[in-house]
């Protein structure tokens, strides 16, 4: 049997003194870019019960970001919404299942993902280390903003009840759920699974699997840049965003997760600022983080916080 994972693991990531100033500046730059949203019906994917649209909006550096947007065909005048955030290698799915549960659903393809890679395409592998020595041009600077702009898109939709927005995702989607819940107070409930992008520098010692292994590859070739890499990643580490989270949140991790080490999951959860937070650690599970058992918990969590106000 694998060794037990310490629940009191403490990440060695330090929060830069100008962390908030850095992100305030990024948000200021983003705010200057009009969203310029375009909503295009997709008759091929639309069915009797779910309307499907392709959505495009503009984000930081004027990069055009694609998303899938689904609406229940039968819905209230203003409905709750879920934003789904994708895994590292995943092609963002059409979130029909969320629409069937009664939510308006947006599935974002941040820059570099399929359908959002015309202006920015570092490739996979490579995204994780793209400009990793410079926080001002690091790949995830725009990538994070792309997801936060999804909230702006939802808030602009007349059919969305802006007081009932939730965010969900696993792996990279879990990490993005953390950063989005932290930076967008409009998020009223969040569910993060097996969060990636949390405890980067811990993870590269705890595991030697891709995608984190991209950083080890980079440092093997450029050992002299370690301090710069560590410095950049501190601005993007979900653990440093966590204390800003105020909304109710559930998190699930797999104790045999070979992709996102469970130690970093514990370290992250312990730093989440919300008082209404719950961690579900699943023994005997890897990067699935117990999804088969946990999905009902997530459904109930969102239903109680978002659907019940109807």
Partner 1 sequence: MVQVPLNFREYWRETLASLARYPACPEFEPIPLRSTAFATLYGVRLTSVGPYRLFGYLSIPAGTGPFPAIYFSPKYQSVLEIIPQGTANLIRSRYITFSLAGRGQRNADTPYAAMFPGLLTEGIGDATAYIFRSIVADSVRGLELLLTRRELDPARVVVVGNDLALITAALMSGATHVVAAPALFYKTAELAIRTHAYPLEEINDYVRTFPALAEAARRTLAYYDLRAFAPGVTATTLLMAGAPGTLFDGQGLKPLVNALTSQVTVHESEQSLYRDGLYAEQWMAARCGISDLQRILPEHWRD
**Known catalytic residue: 62?**
no
Among 90, 133, 303, 307, contact with partner 1 (rule: CB under 8 A): 90
Minimum gap (Å) between residue 99 Cβ and partner 1: 11
Q: CB-based contacts of 296: which residues, under 8 Å, 6+ apart?
A: none
What number of other Cβ atoms are within 10 A of residue 230's Cβ?
Answer: 18
Query: Should residue 221 be labelled a site residue for partner 1 when binding is judged by CB under 8 A?
Result: yes
Strands (E), 147-207: 160-170, 187-193
Beta-bridged to residue 68, according to DSSP, are 54, 107
Minimum gap (Å) between residue 298 Cβ and partner 1: 15
Minimum gap (Å) between residue 119 Cβ and partner 1: 15
Catalytic hit among 161, 237, 257, 288: 257
Query: Should residue 41 be labelled a site residue for partner 1 when binding is judged by CB under 8 A?
Result: no
Query: Should residue 217 be labelled a site residue for partner 1 when binding is judged by CB under 8 A?
Result: yes
Beta-bridged to residue 82, according to DSSP, are 105, 166
Nearest to 70 by CA among 39, 102, 106: 106
Query: Should residue 140 be labelled a site residue for partner 1 when binding is judged by CB under 8 A?
Result: no
Residue 117's Cβ-count burial label (10 Å; 0-12, 13-18, 19+) is middle
Q: Which helix (H) or strand (E) covers residue 194, if one does? A: none
**Known catalytic residue: 285?**
yes
* Shorter beta-carbon distance to partner 1: residue 176 or 249: 176
**Known catalytic residue: 11?**
no
Query: Should residue 288 be labelled a site residue for partner 1 when binding is judged by CB under 8 A?
Result: yes
DSSP assignment letter at 82: E
Among 238, 254, 265, 281, contact with partner 1 (rule: CB under 8 A): 254
* Shorter beta-carbon distance to partner 1: residue 114 or 156: 114
Nearest to 188 by CA among 72, 303, 16: 303
- Residue 39 CA to residue 240 CA, distance in Å, equals 34
Task: List Cα–Cα distances, 65 to 33, 43, 48, 49, 54, in angstroms.
Answer: 13, 21, 27, 26, 11
Query: Should residue 209 be labelled a site residue for partner 1 when binding is judged by CB under 8 A?
Result: yes
Q: Which residues of 33-45 are buried (b: 16+ CB within 10 A; e: fewer)?
A: beeebeeeeeeee
Among 159, 213, 228, 299, contact with partner 1 (rule: CB under 8 A): 213
Query: Should residue 1 be labelled a site residue for partner 1 when binding is judged by CB under 8 A?
Result: yes
Query: Should residue 218 be labelled a site residue for partner 1 when binding is judged by CB under 8 A?
Result: yes
Query: Should residue 54 be labelled a site residue for partner 1 when binding is judged by CB under 8 A?
Result: no
Query: Should residue 15 be labelled a site residue for partner 1 when binding is judged by CB under 8 A?
Result: no
User: Which residues are tagged catalytic?
Assistant: 171, 257, 285
Contact residues: partner 1, CB under 8 A: 1-3, 5, 43-45, 47, 88-91, 93-94, 96-97, 100, 114-115, 123-125, 206-211, 213, 216-218, 220-221, 254-259, 261-262, 284-288, 290-293
């Amino acid at each position: 049997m694998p060794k037990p994972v310490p629940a009191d693991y403490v990440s060695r990531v330090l929060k830069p003194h100008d962390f908030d100033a850095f992100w305030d500046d990024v948000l200021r730059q983003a705010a200057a870019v009009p969203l310029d949203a375009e909503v295009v019906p997709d008759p091929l994917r639309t069915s009797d019960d779910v309307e499907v649209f392709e959505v495009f909006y503009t984000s930081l550096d004027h990069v055009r970001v694609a998303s899938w947007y689904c609406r229940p065909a039968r819905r209230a005048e203003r409905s709750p919404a879920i934003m789904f955030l994708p895994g590292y290698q995943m092609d963002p799915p059409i979130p029909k299942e969320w629409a069937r549960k009664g939510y308006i659903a947006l599935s974002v393809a941040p820059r570099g993902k399929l359908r959002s890679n015309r202006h920015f395409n570092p490739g996979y592998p490579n995204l994780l280390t793209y400009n990793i020595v410079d926080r001002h041009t690091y790949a995830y600077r725009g990538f994070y903003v792309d997801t936060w702009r999804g909230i702006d898109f939802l808030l602009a939709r007349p059919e969305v009840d802006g007081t009932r927005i939730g965010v969900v995702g696993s792996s990279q989607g879990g990490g993005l759920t953390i950063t989005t819940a932290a930076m967008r107070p409009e998020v009223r409930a969040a569910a993060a699974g097996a969060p990636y992008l949390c405890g980067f520098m811990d993870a590269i010692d705890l595991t030697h699997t891709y995608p984190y292994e991209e950083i080890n590859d980079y440092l093997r070739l450029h050992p002299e840049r370690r301090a710069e890499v560590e410095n950049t990643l501190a601005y993007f580490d979900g653990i440093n965003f966590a204390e800003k989270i105020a909304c109710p949140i559930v998190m699930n991790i797999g104790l045999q997760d070979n992709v996102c080490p469970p130690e970093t999951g514990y370290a992250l959860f312990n730093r989440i600022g919300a008082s209404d937070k719950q961690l579900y650690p699943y023994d005997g599970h890897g990067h699935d983080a117990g999804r088969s058992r946990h999905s009902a918990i997530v459904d109930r969590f969102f239903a109680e916080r978002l659907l019940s106000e109807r």
